[in-house]
Amino acid sequence: MKKILAVALFAVMAFTGRSQESVVPTIDPNAPEIKVENEVLDYGTIDYDANGIREFKFKNIGKSPLTITSVQGECGCTSTTIDGKPGWPQEPILPGKSGVIRVKYDTKRPGRFEKNVTITSNSKLSSIKVKIKGEIKAAPVAPATPTASPDGK
């Protein structure tokens, strides 16, 4: 009986000890805040191998400069590097100012797609997810080439 009581007491102490360790983070009221115009970019239905670059427009609605540290696609089919350069502003975005984040989907992948893009910054929410979606038409079929008959004609 003493063993059970000791184990129960230990469990209660461990449980209450952990609950006291949790700290609620305080949010700086002057922190930058990113507001994305459209959280979902719909490509619609586009041709195979079409231009896959699209832009998310955003605004810093906070009270201090916004710095975007990274933008990551969900998989290798979604790139955030355009022409060898990051697709997001490298300089801080001042309060009240806007910017764009460019992403590129690989349009040589026929079929429907829906992918998340994670934006990491010094905003009140350190990371947010936006989405791209659409449908890529099937690859065009090359015209059949006539074959010569066995007699060469």
The residue extents of the domains of the chain are 34-136
**Residue carrying the six token digits 């002057």:** 30
How do beta strands 53-60 and 68-73 pair?
unpaired
**Residue carrying the six token digits 């010569």:** 148
pLDDT at 13 over 70: no
101 Cβ contact list (under 8 Å, min separation 6): 55, 56, 58, 68, 71, 80, 87, 88, 117, 119
pLDDT at 15 over 60: no
Question: What are the angstrom distances between the C-alpha of 103 and each of 37, 141, 147?
Answer: 15, 28, 44
14 Cβ contact list (under 8 Å, min separation 6): none
| Segment 100-141, tens digit of pLDDT | 999 999 999 999 999 999 999 999 999 999 999 999 999 988
Q: Which CATH class is domain 34-136?
A: mainly beta
Which residue, among 110, 53, 99, has the nearest Cα to 79 in the 3D structure?
53
**Cα–Cα distance between 105 and 108 in angstroms, integer?**
9
* pTM of the complete model: 0.75
